[in-house]
Chain A
Amino acid sequence: MNTNILQVKDPILAIENLSVAYDKNVAVKDVTVGIKKNTVTAIMGPSGCGKSTLLRALNRMHELYENIHTTGSVTLNGEDIFKMSAIKLRRQTGMVFQRPNPFPTMSIYDNVIAGYKLNGINQKKQERDEIVERSLRDVALWDEVKDSLTKKGTFLSGGQQQRLCIARALAFNPEIILLDEPTSALDPVATSKIEDLLITLKEHYTIIMVTHNMSQAARISDYSLFMYLGELVEYGKTKNMFTNPQDRRTEEYLTGKFG
């Protein structure tokens, strides 16, 4: 057993021996890790080390592509994610992408409610209104857009668009939110808003975020995963990892020797 990997009791998400390969190129190698509920967990590591690949395995995004092969097991609240329906899994795991990607033909309102509407879930207007308002309040966007809910989501600024995308992911009240470098396309002000937001969101959600920005990981994450060449090198409390990294590669990365 690797002592550099923290053992988490009662993880909400338990990843065991997870490997992901693009054709024959193994991008994530035998990762075993437990994610703690109501925390922000950062996935760090140099570019190309498999951060996105690991994250996208967690909502089975890889199934869209025939050349990607996943092995190992992942359980969400004890339930095997590969055995449940992809639709159920994906409603329990919101995903936010690197670039804000609101649905361009939809209004702000429709973007937030898209998961319900396009799933053909019948609701009263009042119910929908409530979900939209709650989700937009959750991302601190309600006051900015409440008078322009019928405008296209793409009219918002980049930072607002990204918060809209987070709201869209929150609308189903997921257990987990997966974010892949959600601030890399944003300016510093918009970035810090999203960082603040993620800290407040962990009260209700479990957040897993890929970042290659170490100071961001240090600012907002409780736990950090450090990956290198597809392997999980180190996992622990962010504070400990930054002050006292166990593995030489972690240390070299955090001190800027590579990355």
Chain B
Amino acid sequence: MKAINEAENISSRIRKDRVFLGLVVFFSVITVSPIILIISKLIEKGYKQLSFGFLVEKTPDTMEAMTAIANNELIPGGIVNGILGTLLMVAMAAVIAIPIAIITGVYLYENQGKWLANITRNVSDILQGVPSIVLGLISYLWVVKYVTNGFSALAGSVSLAIMMLPMIVRSTEETLKMIPQTLKEAGLALGIPYWRVLTGILIPTGFSGLMTGILLAVSRVIGETAPLMLTALGSRAINMNISKPTSAIPLLIWEFYNDPNMVDMIWSSSLLLMIIVLAFNLTAKQFAANRK
């Protein structure tokens, strides 16, 4: 009698296990399917257009595109103006944001519990929640109106840099907090001044963590469109002058969207953008894994 009960019990448990496993798989698939659908769609629609020329040629004008479509050819040209613009603005944003954010992160780490540090941390968190278009607006008010007197790559970079700040501040503080206190004490006990302990011991020790934060911040702002619309504006020409309007990959995607002749370019540009963002993300993951 007891044996039978037990057998029933076990088989019902196995059934429950199966149901549970089924649910887990089901929800996992739901979670990952959007990204798979996105990537496969981008590849399907974008790969044709994605040639070497696409990476090194400027955006065609709408007449060229129309002619090509009428002749059943691929749209000529590429998005090198956007690629270089993104490179310029993101690099400049990183150069602006990284030192400020790391110094702030160090300050927060060294002043745990102090009121000014707490305020700074909260403000930084709030900044992280500010919609990116608002940051674009602020950069417009500061830089476009007063510094470059017109739309410019610099203004774009400033809006992206403000976006990057809180992410890097956070990751710097968290990374430093994970480093054993005795490493810092050991450095100071050798009579090494604090700033050299910081630059020679703590930052190298936390390098992977800092890089993870920086790369994730970069990959986050690469795809930003809204703030650039209000600051960098866009350009069909290659521009490396930081005080002039400049293109960017996401800006081009927006422009292509608004031009019926350019629709095919949307997909290839998005595919390229996606590849770049993924590359940054995967590299960041690699650094995070190195933290062991």
Hey, which bits of chain A sit against chain B, CB under 8 A?
Answer: 59, 61, 64, 86-91, 93-95, 97-99, 101, 103-105, 114-115, 117-120, 165, 168-169, 172
Contacts and interface: CB of A to CB of B under 8 A. Distances in A.
Interface string B155-198: 00000000000000000000000001011111111111100110
A115 B190 contact: yes
B188 A169 contact: no
Given A91-B190, A168-B190, 4 more contacts: A59-B189, A118-B200, A120-B196, A165-B186
Contacts of B60: none
B115 to A, nearest CB: 13
B191 A101 contact: no
Given A61-B189, A91-B190, A103 B201 contact: yes
Prevailing SS type, chain B contact patch: helix
A94 B197 CA distance: 16
A172 B205 contact: no
Given A103-B205, A118-B200, A97 B186 contact: yes
B185 A61 contact: yes
A90 to B, nearest CB: 4
Contacts of A115: 190-192
Interface of B: 180, 182-193, 196-197, 200-201, 204-205, 207
Contacts of A104: 183, 205
Contact of B193 (A105, A114, A119, A169): A119
Contacts of A118: 187, 190, 192, 196-197, 200-201
A88 B191 CA distance: 7
B191 A103 contact: no
Nearest to B179: A104
B183 A103 contact: yes
A169 B191 CA distance: 10
Contacts of A120: 196
A105 B199 CA distance: 12
